[in-house]
């Protein structure tokens, strides 16, 4: 049996960091995307309301799926990420700018579709990250 720091027997536990979502600075887009995420609790939203919740909250932050999906607003619009990966930015005019495709998992694909369709944007993971 494997014992871990958090006291359970899972050899690969997800590291709990409280309410803080660690966001690495993607070299390709610069450190501006780390702005806005704080060590404070954020409003828990459904995937379909994640963008709207981030837009209407005074602090501009929201999470969904127990913190696995997160969003915060800045001058570029609403930044949306999954786990520690910034995936796309939705501008105020609902233009979607893809940043990272993530791992390409089903949760990346289905979550992207649910979040964008909830905001009235009919794009899918495949159309955002399709390679020519």
Going by C-beta distance under 8 Å and a sequence separation of 6 or more, which residues neighbour residue 38?
20, 59, 61
pTM of the predicted model as reported, rounded to 2 decimal places: 0.68
Q: Report if residue 101 sits inside a domain.
A: yes
- Give how far the C-alpha of residue 16 lies from the chain's centroid of Cα atoms, to the nearest Å: 17
Alpha helices for the chain (secondary structure H) = 50-56, 106-118, 125-129
Q: How many domains would you assign to the chain? A: 1
Q: Report if residue 112 sits inside a domain.
A: yes
Residue 88 backbone phi and psi in degrees, to 5: -160, 165
Q: Could you list the mean pLDDT of each consecutive 10-residue stretch along the chain, which spans 132 residues?
A: 41 40 41 42 81 95 94 97 96 96 93 96 94 54
Q: Report if residue 35 sits inside a domain.
A: no
Q: Report if residue 30 sits inside a domain.
A: no
Q: Report if residue 108 sits inside a domain.
A: yes
Q: Report if residue 33 sits inside a domain.
A: no
Q: Dump pLDDT digits (tens) for 12-25.
A: 344 333 444 444 43
Q: Dump pLDDT digits (tens) for 65-75.
A: 999 999 999 99
Q: Report if residue 91 sits inside a domain.
A: yes
Q: Report if residue 98 sits inside a domain.
A: yes
- Could you tell me the residue range of the domain that residue 90 belongs to? 42-129
Distance, CA of 22 to CA of 83 (rounded, Å) = 8
């Amino acid at each position: 049996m494997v014992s871990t720091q958090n006291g359970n027997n899972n050899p690969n536990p997800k590291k709990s960091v409280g309410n803080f979502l660690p966001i690495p600075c993607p070299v390709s887009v610069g450190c501006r995307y780390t702005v806005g995420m704080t060590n404070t609790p954020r409003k828990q939203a459904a995937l379909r309301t994640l963008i709207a919740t981030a837009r209407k909250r005074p602090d501009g932050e929201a999470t969904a799926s127990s913190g696995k999906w997160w969003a915060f607003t800045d001058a570029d619009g609403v930044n949306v990420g999954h786990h520690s990966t910034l995936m796309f930015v939705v501008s105020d005019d609902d233009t979607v700018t893809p940043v990272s495709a993530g791992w390409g998992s089903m949760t990346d694909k289905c979550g992207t579709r649910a979040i964008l369709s909830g905001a009235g944007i009919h794009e899918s993971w495949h159309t955002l990250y399709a390679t020519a």
